[in-house]
Structure 1
Amino acid sequence: MSRIILHAGMHKTGTSSIQAMLNSNRDSLRNNDWEYVFLPKDAKAAYGYIHSSPDSCTYSEAKKELEGIISGSDCKNFIFSSEDMTAALQSEDLWVSKGERVSQLFESLGNIEVLIYYRRQDSFYESAFQQRAKEGVPLNFKETLKRLPIMSSMDWYSKFKFFESCFSDSKFTYISYEKAYGGIGITGSFLKYASLNDIIPIDHSKSDNASSKILTKIFAEYGPILDPHDQSLLSDVLCEYERAGDFRRYRLLSLEDRLSVFENYYQSNRNLYSICENADVVDLDIWRADLLNEYSNDYRNAVDDKDIIIDLLKLISATQK
């Protein structure tokens, strides 16, 4: 039977980078008996069925479409990638339905391997907010932590166990985003898992996201108090600064916030040991001591952005003239 890898996200774990890498190497993959399928784009009926779209197809139609993708390819092995497979992690009720729908579609197509990257909750909080800020959403960070639905339930252990109940006979692999990112990179990690690193060379050029974090901080502090026109100007100016990339490191979460997030999900993360071979959770007291030491020694964390703000105001003023 076919080997089928379901790369199911999760969100904020480099899914887009993996998809871009796979898409740009389709020919090399096909020459080596692999077909990459970006589910929302290449399998519209299946996507609609999974997500219960108003114009979604029936199960038989969606199943026929997926079977057609497999039978219509000369390849034996397939990669289906869509972080929307785990989008319903936000809601148990939705996830029951959608999780079962995903498994129903894929269960008879081949030998299923479900690959999921997961991210530490404090890092997840920051990354989700950064995306919204860079999209121009004028939200206060503290309020965003409370309001965003995706933030309300990040008990990875419970979610993953439920996922496994939907794909009861499948192979599951969970990979820590932090470990992958700090090692051979997210795309490198994926290639190594799928044994594709001989087909597509691992190129680990780890990017520096310092500019994103300081720009997000500025937008988080000043965006909510500006009118829509000035918000747009600020967004344009921040884009110019991001292209320059000359910023120091900054964390959106304070030490107190980070400790609170970690402690809230500590037991869930400890439980991950039973299903994740590389779960990177240590004793709570040791982790707290390491974090305290990290913050006290990281002088770059105390960023003085007055000069940046002055420059921003000058640029905004010049734009308004």
Structure 2
Amino acid sequence: MVGDTVDVVLHIGCEKTGTTSIQQFLRRNRAALKDRGILYPRAPGDFRHVELGLYAMPDEALPEARIWKRDGYSAAPDVFRRRLRRRLRREITGAGASTVVLSDEALYRSDPPSIGRLRGLVDELAGQVRIVVYLRRQDDHLISRYQQAVKMGEVLDLDAWSRRDFAGIYDYWGRVTRWKDAFDSAVVAVRPFERARFPEGSLTRDFLEAAGLDVRADDLRSITARNESLGVEGVELLRLLNLHRVEHMGATPRRIPNRPHVKRLRQVDSGPQVTLPPAQLDQFMGQWEDSNRRVARELLGDPTGELFHTERKTDGTTTRQVLDPARLDDYLDLLEIPEHEHPSIRRIAEREASRSSAHEG
């Protein structure tokens, strides 16, 4: 161990619960936090601690991990883990910190062996451990997660995509108790991701409270949270481009970066947000009633069993996922898509619009 007085705050997500904002806040205030004995280390990643998720992965999964490939890792898994442990210990020792904050939303979905590997790392560092996890209303999370999936190369429409098995993500009781069982002596702070329940409506204030950090938010630099959502036309345009790349350019679904396109699409109003019909969302939420009730009662001490207080978002939404082919050219010009690709993209747009109309009929 680095020292008996080093406590660890482990923020495990889940994804689409403001993790980027929390990590941006921690990085922006790294020096101020360090002055107060709180270290947000650089060793696992300067912004998000991506190497924690990699550390936890089984050996055979590492070479296929998106981040492993993207960032050009080449060391053997045991060598990679040993180097990370050494760098992290060195940074903690040099900082003289009493508390270390680690954050990677990929950790949330770890299986028990992966959590066990991570505990081995944390046990080398920690006195006391506090795990912070944010949980978002499942239907709201589903819609947000679909947008993210399309941005990363998904080709299915929302209706088809939503029919997959999501128990590994949305059974919150099963997920959280998996971490509680693995870190049996840790404090597990479960926070519903609802702005109305944050102190002064601030996610970062809520995180400081959940993490048990003895620091005032007013003494730190604030951040400005951005709305990352796209309208239905923006989402559908990206899906059409994904289909085009898969069908005509040999791309692999769910392995298509769209960041430059997303950045440009955020500059325009691309309509209301796509969602599913209320009855379908009700059915989806029904799967998690028992799980949510147990989290509320047994982990939050709420006798009502109501995990989430905020109603489903309905304003500014639509259930029609379609891009009128007549509007396609304006978007292709905005994204500066090469002219020779336009005909095949238009054929796909017309095909998908026709399918959407047939489905509605």
TM-score range, shorter chain: 0.7 to 0.9
Residues 278-315 of structure 1 deviation map (CA, whole Å, 9 limit, x = unaligned): 7996499x99xx66xx75xx4x4358898975333345
Query: TM-score when scaled to structure 1?
Result: 0.75
Partners of 2:209 and 2:145 in 1: how far apart?
27
Partner of 2:220: 200
**Out of 117, 132, 136, which is 1:119 matched to?**
136
How many residue pairs match? The answer is 302
Deviation at 1:181, TM superposition (A): 8.4
Give the superposition deviation at 1:48: 5.0
| Superposed CA offset, 1:243-273 (max 9, x none) | 12x2443242221221111101111111111
**Which residue, out of 234, 246, 252, partners 1:215?**
234
Aligned partner of 1:73 among 92, 95, 105: 95
Residue in structure 1 matched with residue 106 of structure 2 by the alignment: 84
Q: Distance in 1 between matches of 2:331 and 2:10?
A: 47
- Please state whether the residue corresponding to 1:259 is helix, strand or coil: helix
Q: Shift of the alpha carbon at 1:80? A: 1.0
**Is residue 2:34 matched to residue 1:30?**
yes
Structure 2, gaps ≥5 residues long:
61-75, 341-361
Cα distance change, pair 247–209 in 1 and its aligned pair in 2 (3 A): farther
1:144-183 equivalences in 2 (<5 Å): 144-147=161-164, 152-179=168-195
Give the alignment of 1:213-252 within 5 angstroms: 214-220=233-239, 224=243, 227-228=247-248, 239-244=263-268, 246-252=269-275
Name 1:97's counterpart in structure 2.
113
Q: Tell me, yes or no, if structure 1 residue 7 matches structure 2 residue 11.
A: yes
Instruction: Determine whether 1:268 maps to 2:291.
Output: yes
- Could you tell me which runs of 5 or more consecutive residues in structure 1 were left unpaired when the two chains were aligned: 89-94
Cα distance between partner residues in 2 of 1:220 and 1:308: 14
Residue identity in the other structure for 2:219: I
Deviation of the 1:206 alpha carbon: 5.0
Alignment match, 1:258: 281
Task: Tell me, yes or no, if the aligned pair for 2:17 and 2:135 is still in contact at 8 Å.
Answer: yes
1:52 matched residue in structure 2: 58
179-188 or 266-275: bigger deviation: 179-188
Question: For the structure 1 residues 32 and 199, does the alpha-carbon distance in structure 2 shift closer, same or farther, using more than 3 Å as the test?
Answer: farther
Identity %: 18
1:212 to 1:28, Cα distance in 2 relative to 1, 3 A: farther
- Contact 1:122/1:253 (<8 A) preserved: no
Q: What corresponds to 2:205 in structure 1?
A: 188
Structure 2 CA distance for aligned equivalents of residues 215 and 279 of structure 1: 42
In 2, the alpha carbon distance for the partners of 1:107 and 1:11 equals: 25
The Cα shift of 1:190 comes to: 1.6
Q: Deviations over 1:216-241 (max 9, x none)?
A: 24544785478547x99x99777534
Is the helix fraction higher in 1 or 2? 1
Instruction: Output the CA distance in 2 between the equivalents of 1:309 and 1:213.
Output: 14
Instruction: Between 173-182 and 37-46, report the one with greater CA deviation.
Output: 37-46
User: What is the TM-score normalised by the length of structure 2?
Assistant: 0.68
What are the Cα deviations for residues 92-145 of structure 1, in whole angstroms up to 9, with x where unaligned? xxx110111222221352211111111221122222211121234322222322
State whether residues 9 and 82 of structure 1, in contact with CA within 8 Å, keep that contact through their aligned partners in structure 2. yes
The corresponding residue for 1:320 is 339
Partner of 2:327: 311
Alignment partners' CA distance in 1, 2:322 and 2:123: 57
Task: Find the counterpart in structure 1 of residue 348 from structure 2.
Answer: none
Partners of 1:39 and 1:47 within 8 A in 2: no
Q: CA deviation at 1:34?
A: 1.4
- Alpha carbons of 1:103 and 1:180: their partners in 2 closer, same or farther (altered >3 Å)? farther
Query: How far apart, in 2, do the equivalents of 1:129 and 1:68 lie?
Result: 40
How far is the alpha carbon of 1:20 from its aligned partner?
A: 1.8
Per mean C-alpha deviation after superposition, the further-off stretch among 21-30 and 131-140 is 131-140
SS of the counterpart of 1:41?
coil
